[in-house]
Amino acid sequence: MGNLEVMNKENEEVGLKKQLGTVQILLYGVGTMLGAGIYVLVGKVAGYSGTLAPLSFLLAGVLAGLTAYSYSLLAPRFPKSGGEIIYVGKAFNSKRLASLVGWGVIFTGFISAAAILKGFVGYLDVFIEFPDAVVIIVSMTLLSLLAIWGIGESLNVIGLITLIEVGGLLFVIFVAGIDMEKFTSQFSRMFIAAPGYDIFAVFQGAFLAFYAFVGFEDLANVAEEAKNPKKSMPIAIMGSLFIALLLYVAVAVVAVIALPLNELSSTDAPMADIVANKGPHYAYIISLISLVAVLNGVLAQLIMGSRVLYGMAGQNNAPKWFHQVHRKYRTPILATIAIAIGIVVLAIFVPIVELANTTSYVVISVFVMVNLSQAKLAINDYGMKKCWGNRKFLLPLFAALLCVVFLLYKILAEV
């Protein structure tokens, strides 16, 4: 047996370490979504849909929830890194299509983390100003070292920060307060109709808000490291999305009541501005929480991207050396470094809204394929005749159609 064969065999034997419990995975999903979404984008969504921003988040959450259902079925069935590649490959028996989806997921991880990292720079400016490039490079280096150190350690950090994130959002809601008289009088302007904003504006906002739900699908790519994926994955995927949806809608309501639309849509630190008029010390507290919140999102995307690249390399859809696992820490070291470099480059050179919109295009395209994969596998399992009464076929098919409609609308709206 040659040296290369021995190394490959040893690498397979080392593999990724199975050590993640349900709570860790659930908090990973919540942390990924919260860091990317509400702490950075609530104002940008309001720029499209105005006081109807809560409705935009609600619509985006429904679309994401249908796709999350497909992931909750597929992740425990195929508990491997690079889950989407396996789903598409198994359903359609096409290595080329699976590879294309895999690269799409990796690209999503790049641009999503880059957008979040730019949000981190915005909140840091509340305390002290450094050149953006310096902040991006230093913070990404530290996060990469943590990711290489271990998945268990990384997810413990993510879980702790996620609890802080949730506490921060509850803090904003509590400090800003919800004036029930205003809420009642403005309810229809937040969830039904508002002067100057039509259904197209709501969908424009929902398309951007959909980016705030990017994260639940990341859980599929740590399934290989779960102790009991059949139990943990469905609970973590659906649970994390439901928690994020409730928080997003609540904070969007507070935001459109607390701030004039022109201020909300132009701010780079929306959580700080919402509580600033209650006292400057409140703004500093929430800005500090926001700092760690957005870094949490970057770390989660770094972990996801590295696992997908690792999985693709293991299936010969990416250079084999990305399948290297650190001998001591049992993490995909070269894949992690490659993803980190890509994030830094995008974060330095590309604007945040462009990053978020591009993420939505790519991730919705991936979701179309994942939903169709679940529908196709349901046909394989139950036969075409029995599928028409089976939610494991009907809901994924409906989700795929909604994703296609969402994409077509966005494309036509920008023509």
Q: Is 6 a residue whose pLDDT tops 60?
A: no
| Mean pLDDT value across residues 92-112 | 85
| Mean pLDDT value across residues 121-127 | 76
Confidence of residue 40 (pLDDT cuts 50, 70, 90): low
Tell me the HSE value of 274 on the side-chain side, using a 13 A CA sphere.
33
Position 415 scores a pLDDT of 64
Position 357 scores a pLDDT of 67
- Distance separating alpha carbons of residues 302 and 297, to the nearest angstrom: 9
Contact 232, 58 (CB under 8 A): no
Contact 339, 330 (CB under 8 A): no
- Distance separating alpha carbons of residues 343 and 298, to the nearest angstrom: 9
The tokens for 245 are: 């949806």
What is the residue type of 301? Answer: Q
Position 408 scores a pLDDT of 86
- Distance separating alpha carbons of residues 198 and 220, to the nearest angstrom: 36
Contact 89, 98 (CB under 8 A): yes
Position 14 scores a pLDDT of 55
- Distance separating alpha carbons of residues 201 and 189, to the nearest angstrom: 13
The tokens for 59 are: 């619509």
Q: Is 1 a residue whose pLDDT tops 70?
A: no
Position 37 scores a pLDDT of 59
For residue 187, is it left (φ>0), alpha (ψ between -120 and 50) or beta?
A: alpha
Q: What percent of the chain has pLDDT over 70?
A: 91
- Reported as type and span, the H/E element at residue 52 is none
The tokens for 331 are: 């993490």
Which residues is 20 bridged to in the sheet? 226
For residue 20, is it left (φ>0), alpha (ψ between -120 and 50) or beta?
A: beta
- Distance separating alpha carbons of residues 45 and 58, to the nearest angstrom: 12
pTM exceeds 0.75 for this model: yes
Name the CATH superfamily, with its identifier, for domain 22-175+189-414. Amino acid/polyamine transporter I (1.20.1740.10)
What is the residue type of 160? Answer: L
Contact 30, 219 (CB under 8 A): no
